[in-house]
Amino acid sequence: MQNTETKHIKIANPDHAIMPLIAQRWSPRAFDGRQVEKEKLQRIFEAARWSPSSSNEQPWRFILGFKGDETYEKIFSTLVEFNQLWAGSAPVLFLAIAKTSSAKSPGKENKSALYDLGQAMAYLTLQAMHEGLYVHQMGGFDTLKAAELFALPHDFKVVTANTIGYQGNPETLHPNLKGMETSARERKPLNELVFSETIGQPANFL
C-alpha cells in the first residue's frame, strides 16, 4: 500500500466538521528516514512554545536526539521492545518533560504541569502536520531510566517519548505492525464523552 492510500484511510470520518489538520492527524510507525529540516523543527517547537499554560509557567521541556547521535541512542534504549521494532526508522526521537515545581512560587508544586505539557504537545503535533511531518507519542518506555540517563532534576518528570519524521512505506514494518498502519481510525461517539449534570447523561446539545 502506498503512502497516499494510507493517508486516505487514516483521515478521520468525523460526525461534525473539524479542521482538516485535526482530521488528518494520526500516529504512523513507518518513517522514511529522511532528515527533518531544521527550519521545520524550529517552527514545530515554536508552536509548542506558544501553547497555553497555567500562570504562564510554561513547564514543558524537550530533549531531542537525531539518528546517529548519542542522545537518540539513549532515548531509543529506554523504549519497550514493541516500540523498538519501529521507532528506529524515525530521524528524530525526543522526550517530552514536565517541570512539576512552580517557577513563580518556589517550593510549591505546579499542579497543571502535565496538563500544560499535553497542550504543548498538541500544538507541536498540529504544526508538524502543517509541515508535512508526523509525530508519534509513546508511553511505552522506561521513564525512570530516561530521567537517569539525562541526569534530570527531581522536579522534571519525563512523560512521553516521541518521534518526528516523514511518513514511510508500511511494507517496511514488522509484520505484526502492518495491520495497525493500514486500518481506519476509530473514536468513541460524543454521547459517550460529553455530558450534562453527571457522567453518563449526554449533553443536551448532542
pTM of the predicted model, to two decimals?
Answer: 0.94
CATH code of the domain covering residue 57: 3.40.109.10
CA 68 to CA 171: how far, in whole Å? 23
CB distance 163 to 92 below 8 Å: yes
CA 186 to CA 181: how far, in whole Å? 13
Q: How many domains does the chain have?
A: 1
Residue at 22 is within a domain? yes
Half-sphere exposure of 179 (CA within 13 A, CB side): 2
| Domain that residue 68 falls in | 3-192
Residue at 201 is within a domain? no
Residue at 15 is within a domain? yes
pLDDT above 80 (res 3): no
Beta-carbon contacts of residue 141 (< 8 Å; ≥ 6 apart): 78, 79, 80, 83, 161
Residue at 200 is within a domain? no
Residue at 202 is within a domain? no
Go through 148-160 and write b for each residue having 16 or more CB atoms within 10 A of its CB, e for each that does not.
ebbebeeebbbbb
Residue at 112 is within a domain? yes
Residue at 205 is within a domain? no
Q: How confident is the model at residue 194 (pLDDT cuts 50, 70, 90)?
A: very high
CB distance 112 to 137 below 8 Å: no
Cell of 73: 541512542
Q: Tens digits of per-residue pLDDT, 71-127?
A: 999 999 999 999 999 999 999 999 999 999 998 888 899 999 999 999 999 999 999
Residue at 197 is within a domain? no
pLDDT above 50 (res 2): no
